Structure 1
Amino acid sequence: PAAPANSGPLTRPQPVSLGMNAPAGPPTWFVCGAAGAGLGPADSYDVVVRIAHPESVYDLDLYGGTTDPDEAAAILAEALVGDLADPHPGSDSRRSTTVLAQLLGPFKAVHGRFPSVPELRQLLDGAAGPLAALRKALTATGHESLLRELDARERQMGHPGDVGAVLADRIALLDRPAFAGFFDTSGQSRPFSLKALDHPVRVRIDLPERGHADASRILARLVLAQFTASVTVRDDRSLFACLLLDDATGVVTPEAVRAVQRLRSANAGVALTLRTLDDVPRPLRGPLLGATGCRMAFSGLTPWDGQDFAEVWGKEWTEARDVTDRQIIAETPAGKAFTVVRRVITGKAPTARAVTVRQVERERWSASELAHGVPAGHAVLSLTTVKGEHAPPLLVDLRGGPRV
């Protein structure tokens, strides 16, 4: 949905509503937003991850709790470069996944863990020392297949269009002093993984948006990628799981849209709030609105945003009444005399009214109505049940008043 500039009053009540109205008992939900966004007090959650805050009890697992290098590479590639458009170098997520897997696999085989952010940055930059040490360890342990992976990575370095440079630039955004104590892979911290979906848990993840906007967008994509990857492979799907993203700017990618489409069958959902649909690439707006079952357009929407909502909400048949007045032409002498007398008395020629009723197809909500006809404090909301039953878009009062 498209959200106003301050979406906290909308996002904050959703976890409470989920807890009270979940059809199969208490759900698992994750709330992710900027620090200070007003997403509820810390004591309302079981786990609070405050990234870049020195007093945070929990850390965030950069690799989503997986031990598979290929899976970890796919999740991390989506977070780092999933937002890049096709014309840009390194935008192919599959190539990015391959580059990361060529490094994560050998590193894990040698060290028994995935690299930390500084270690991964050095490997992507092609630092001679870390690569030579990794090669030596692989040779000593006889990992021939992983040596071939490392050889392929070294051959690609320096070639035009190598995605390693793009990945190194993006991971450098997380290799900052503010994040020095986070994303630890040595086992010395308390990393939280979004794989904790087998029991009811309430989690809030605070992103350091102030001063680290680009890093926050990477982390938001990381949270969404980890959630969708974990929730779709659960053995027990009886527990409903939901992720609330307070600001989905830069998060909607082609892979994210495909993942959202798979959530309903996994008994899971995601709520995305956007200040404007301009934050979503034009080719993805239609698929995104089509993949989401519930859509909400707030007051203050722009006409071009309203056009996208008008298209997805479609049209409906309605009754149109056309009223026409035609002048009566008298043909007989008596009729002509009556016409002259009536015109003298009323000052108007006599007319006959004709009413035509026909069925026409019109938009349920036009772009102009969405942009200029939604009062402040209201929104137009359409809902879809888990069984696929649709409710038409209705104007609702977000301030607790009756439905209009």
Structure 2
Amino acid sequence: MNKIELLAPAGNMEKLKVAFNYGADAVYIGGPSYGLRAFAGNFSNDELKEAVLYAHKLNKKIYVTVNIFPHNEDLKGMDEYLKYLYDLGTDAIIISDPGVFSIAKEAAPKMEIHLSTQANNVNYRSAIFWHGLGVKRIVLARELSLEEIKEVRDKTPSTLDLEAFVHGAMCISYSGRCLLSNYMTGRDSNRGECAHPCRYKYYLMEEKRPGNYMPVEEDERGTYIMNSKDLCMIEYLPDIINAGITSLKIEGRMKSSFYVATVVKAYRKALDEFLNKGSDYKFNPEWLKDLTKASHREFSSGFYHNDPGQIYENSSYIRDYDIVGLVLDYDKNSKTAYIEQRNRVYKGERVEVFGPNFDTFELELDCLRNADGESIDVAPHPQMKYSIKCDRELKPFDMLIKQKPE
């Protein structure tokens, strides 16, 4: 039970550091190619090296996505890349294609391999098959119920790890195997370029009545028939762990640092509480409240309880809070926190201070200064440096957030 892993997304180096700082045991990241998030920040080869070194100093792990479904031209250079990842000390690669698997076995035979959710693993025989070939971990398809996961766990070797998503966006297509983006925009979702047409608003048009758009409605609630709710399993963490999952995966390599911090912190608290209390564990509603501060859609428990849910009104995220600053440093003598701006903030505003090791508290920004120490009324420029006064000591990667006006 103590080996349960909290696995977070990291779209760039800052998000990686945030994820570890807020309690992730491991992160999954994408390199310069071969991953399914081509528009995330991703990591250059040099940044991959930096990421692995940073993680291993903290006794944490790095998994690199190599989970595209490659066409012939995509295979060029893949053997050298996989060998490079192994030589760096990458803890595992995440793959979905048998061809990539075979290349990995030839180029880096000792590399740990995880099978991506894109491979649609939904039964124990498939899991046994891949494990027999050398896959260490199966990332189960999102379409499985808790009962089905229990059966997979019961009928597979204990040497096989099972990983499952517990939080984040859901795809309307089967485990992400979608062709809408290919047809509508020419961007191949299975090669990392999804344009998310499932979030578009659709109408019907009859061929002899051009320009006469008829809304597509379901129960008169709206037109977003392919717009999935977000997955959120924080209320059911004991159930998913008791089903046999050993790695709890958070979705969101293209999400913000604030999203990563908020979600990782909430699940870290819940997981630690469960591991420490066991049968005396009680869910704390504050964890769910904290999760709602990050950008999200309506929550559901996905296929775990056979009710993934759709949103018919719109495709917008709920964004009740903005991050206005990331703490860079703190001077104990002057009680000054040095901040990097993330959204416009004004002198005199009340903000919330959010961090991994304390309960969120409010702070009035009665002293706002620029990088030259001059008093300012507003910090308007993205990533500008400014300072504030705060009696409580802050640490790097603590955050200033503020609620949006209603």
The answer, yes or no, to whether TM exceeds 0.5 is no
TM superposition score normalised by structure 2: 0.27
Higher strand share: 2
Larger RCO, structure (CA 8 Å, separation 6 or more): 1
More helix by share: 1
Which entry has the higher C-alpha Rg, 1 or 2?
1
TM-score by length of 1: 0.27
